[in-house]
Amino acid sequence: MLRSLPTLLAGAVLLALGLLFSVVVLVVVAVFGLGLWAWLWWKTRKLRRAANEAHTARATTAEGQVIEGEAVVVEETRVVEGTLLPRNDA
């Protein structure tokens, strides 16, 4: 019993240290990711503003607002059923 008590205490301490280390690593990764996202957001702000202005300028014309869409042209053909070669009734 006395030999297992130090082993149990050492295991509990190592488990607590591992948990604390994993929480610290998780926080560091989260802060790094948030910092990277903020840096990219800051660097692309002019590009986003220019794209928004271009979209707004393209969407409005002198007549008003343009609604964009797509159209598909379907060609229809008629098939006439019948004989193509003359019949030879002889």
Q: Identify the pLDDT of residue 16.
A: 96
Q: Identify the pLDDT of residue 68.
A: 81
pLDDT in tens, 9-27: 999 999 999 999 999 999 9
- Is this model's pTM higher than 0.85 or not? no
CA atoms within 13 A on the CB side of 54: 6
Average pLDDT, rounded, for the chain: 85
Between residues 87 and 72, the one the model is more confident about: 72
Residue the block writes with tokens 């193509």: 84
The mean-pLDDT minimum among 3-12, 15-24, 33-42, 60-69 falls in: 60-69
Residue 88 has phi, psi (to 5 degrees) of: -110, 100
With contact defined as beta carbons under 8 Å apart, do 59 and 66 qualify? yes
With contact defined as beta carbons under 8 Å apart, do 46 and 40 qualify? no
